[in-house]
Amino acid sequence: MAQELPVMSAGPVSPDRAPATAAHRADLARSVRLFRAFRKEQTDPDFFYGMLAEDTVGQLRAYTDLAGTTLVDVGGGAGYFADALRRAGARIVCVDCDAGEMSARDGVMPAGGVLGSALELPVRTGSVDVCFSSNVLEHVPQPFTMAEEMVRVTRPGGIVYLSFTNWLSPWGGHETSPWHYLGGHRAARRYERRYGRRPKNVFGESMYAVSVAETLRWARSQQEAEIVEVMPRYLPRWAKPIVRVPGLREVVTWNLVLVLRKR
């Protein structure tokens, strides 16, 4: 495990701050922009992840003032989100277990980058204002161990922002979609036959089935954190009630955002 970091809180985060919906317009036009950009994820990751990172900063500002906060980006890879959050005034530690991913953008580790496992974060308990993760939960073999770690390192009153692609969504199998609906292993074999190489995201090795239902059960069972928001990440805000409909939410949500506040 990487050496433990002496990450300290940079300032207060108001525990009673209500979501400021005016700060982030989660409307239909925004959804269209994001889905159009998503089509370029493989061919132009700078464009897609740059846009998504700026959009995510707007989301986070609904729950806390980012200026001066200490933030851990769990599984931050090449640092797209870290860059946008740093521009918003946050002090960033980007933790990832894959040095290749972290240096994929320009050949060097992102500023504030640290090698470490999401299942055992190299960060002191209760030491950060915000613990953030985007689309990593479905790539770890013990997703709720990672989620527990995110809660652990966040200070009382701080925010946990956790987003992931749920398995039964249209993109649940990532590049093997939509064949993952017939089974993750079968989808991976089909991909290999068609393209002559294994997919980057291999079911059972680097991609796992995580559902909205089990994530909500985990969140509701927490003693150290309370739920602030649960919503589809890319859909308009009026689509939020979907997360209350079992079955439908697993497909339509596409990508879930869970926001918690540490007690």
Asked if residue 154 belongs to a domain, the reply is: yes
Asked if residue 172 belongs to a domain, the reply is: no
Asked if residue 110 belongs to a domain, the reply is: yes
Cα–Cα distance for residue pair 57/52, rounded to 1 Å:
9
The tally of domains found in the chain comes to: 1
Asked if residue 33 belongs to a domain, the reply is: yes
Alpha helices in 80-183 (DSSP H): 80-87, 99-102, 143-153
Asked if residue 12 belongs to a domain, the reply is: no
Q: Where are the beta strands (DSSP E) in 18-120?
A: 70-74, 91-96, 113-115
Residue 255, H or E segment: strand 255-262
Write out pLDDT tens, residues 7-62.
443 343 333 333 333 347 888 999 998 988 888 777 787 788 888 999 999 999 99
Asked if residue 81 belongs to a domain, the reply is: yes
In this prediction, residue 103 has a pLDDT band, given cuts at 50, 70 and 90, of confident
> Taking all residues of the chain, what is their mean pLDDT, rounded to a whole number?
89
Task: Determine the pLDDT at residue 17.
Answer: 35
In this prediction, residue 211 has a pLDDT band, given cuts at 50, 70 and 90, of very high
Q: What is the CATH number of the domain that holds 89?
A: 3.40.50.150
Write out pLDDT tens, residues 138-168.
999 999 999 999 999 999 999 999 999 999 9
Q: Per-residue pLDDT averaged across 169-192, rounded?
A: 97
Judge whether residue 6 has pLDDT over 70. Answer: no
Asked if residue 6 belongs to a domain, the reply is: no
Task: Determine the pLDDT at residue 147.
Answer: 98
Nearest 5°: the CA angle 213, 76, 148 is 40
Cβ atoms of 168 and 251 within 8 Å: the answer is yes
Judge whether residue 86 has pLDDT over 50. Answer: yes
Of 128, 180, 183, the closest CA to residue 159 belongs to 128
In one-letter notation, the amino acid at residue 168 is: L
Q: Choose between 111 and 198: higher pLDDT.
A: 198
Task: Determine the pLDDT at residue 205.
Answer: 96
Cα–Cα distance for residue pair 121/14, rounded to 1 Å:
25
Cα–Cα distance for residue pair 186/68, rounded to 1 Å:
47
Cα–Cα distance for residue pair 135/189, rounded to 1 Å:
23
Q: Where are the beta strands (DSSP E) in 11-169?
A: 70-74, 91-96, 113-115, 128-134, 154-165
Cβ atoms of 114 and 122 within 8 Å: the answer is yes
Residue-number span of the structural domain to which 83 is assigned: 21-166+210-262
Task: Determine the pLDDT at residue 13.
Answer: 37
Cα–Cα distance for residue pair 221/125, rounded to 1 Å:
20
Cα–Cα distance for residue pair 143/146, rounded to 1 Å:
5
Write out pLDDT tens, residues 108-123.
777 778 999 999 999 9
Asked if residue 176 belongs to a domain, the reply is: no
